[in-house]
Structure 1
Amino acid sequence: MSGTESVELVGDEAVSNIALAAVLAALTAAFAYVSIPVPGLPVPISFQVFGAYFAGLLLGPRWGGLALTLYLLVGVAGAPVFSGGAAGLGYLLGPTGGYLVGFLLAAVVIGAIVHRGLEPRPLTEVSLPVQAGALLAGLAVIYAVGVPWLALSTANTFTEAFIGGAVTVLPGDLIKIAATLALVKGGVLARQQATA
């Protein structure tokens, strides 16, 4: 091998996906700053879920999961990237930690449903009903992890945690899904995916 030859250890597509995963991790952190505490609710209303939705839709289960893993690791390491600028392992283990873990699992589930494999495919090849079903499945995963975690880490019963941590916030979460789908239908996410 001469000095001018190079070995490609990581393909261009993998580099692009890693870069986009890092961008989506940062975007999830930015969304965390849009957090509205509501009196009487055990969890704040937050836009972090958009990060999970976009990661799963754009990157599929492998790279979307990487994006949310990066986000969680940075927060656990002490960067103020959780809701309201919180950080640290203590916050992750607290009442809202289940929702944070749920975001990671939701990105993987959404990606698996939409892309039907580990690698992402163009969103233009995925029907809107499939995307909507994937986002609803992702939301169900978030609640499935977040609600019991909330009940176990507070004095709330499971029923109280379910009402405060799922039923009450469900209308807003459905609006977030509709907003995500509107971006996809408008081609904004598809165009960004194509240029990545």
Structure 2
Amino acid sequence: MPKDSLTDLHQLVWTALLAATIGAGAYLIVPIGPVPVSMQPFFVFLTGFALGPRRGAMAVGLYLLAGTLGLPVFAGGRSGLGHLFGPTGGYIFGWLAAVWLCGLARQQDGTVPWVRGGGFGLVALLVLYAMGAGWLKFALSMSWHKAWLAGVAPFIVWDIIKLAASLACARYMVRLGLLPGQR
């Protein structure tokens, strides 16, 4: 098998694997309100850092497709368009932007420096919060203040920890030479 074919296969496997981990993260939740705390953001950030923007977006797109088609991959084991366009839909769609932004931190050689990853990760988190809170405000007819209190404030510390942990995991996988596209 030519080297390019192996590289393509490696990227395809990682794309499917990380899409599956985002779905698996849906089962690791703490229900604290209309938007549960789950491990899904950890896997979304990791997907961006590990695969880059394009492949990362493909993995999140695959995850969204699986949930839309009825596989129980959304938080709490839910699925379908109703959940996708429910109160948490802004966060779910925000993962496309977040994975893209985290993916921009990945350099040409496949590495993800701490400062670059942290910077892009924090911007991704802000965009994710803006999309999620905006949709939450719309879906539940809330004020911006209430949407922020319900959909952002309780998650800030959790998400910063998940962001740092995902960056550390990606850097570790780079050091081991596991990720596709490394030179």
What is the TM-score normalised by the length of structure 1?
Answer: 0.84
The amino acid of 1:183's aligned partner reads C
Matched positions, count = 180
| Runs of 4+ that moved beyond 3 A | none
SS, match of residue 19 in structure 1: helix
Alpha-carbon distance between aligned partners in 1 of 2:166 and 2:57, rounded to the nearest angstrom: 18
Of the structure 1 ranges 137-146 and 85-94, higher mean CA displacement relative to structure 2 is found in 137-146
Relative contact order higher in (CA < 8 Å, ≥ 6 apart): 2
SS, match of residue 169 in structure 1: helix
Alpha-carbon distance between aligned partners in 2 of 1:137 and 1:114, rounded to the nearest angstrom: 14
Question: What residue in structure 2 maps to residue 31 of structure 1?
Answer: 25
| 1:155-174 equivalences in 2 (<5 Å) | 155-174=141-160
Structure 2 gap segments, 5+ residues each: none
RMSD: 2.1
Post-superposition offset of 1:190: 4.0
Counting aligned pairs with the same residue, the percent is 36
Alpha-carbon distance between aligned partners in 1 of 2:158 and 2:36, rounded to the nearest angstrom: 12
Alpha-carbon distance between aligned partners in 2 of 1:63 and 1:184, rounded to the nearest angstrom: 15
Alpha-carbon distance between aligned partners in 2 of 1:121 and 1:64, rounded to the nearest angstrom: 16
SS, match of residue 193 in structure 1: coil
Select the structure of larger CA radius of gyration.
Answer: 1
8 Å Cα contact 1:58-1:193 kept in structure 2: yes
2:79 is aligned with 1:87: yes
2:161 is aligned with 1:175: yes
What is the TM-score normalised by the length of structure 2?
Answer: 0.89
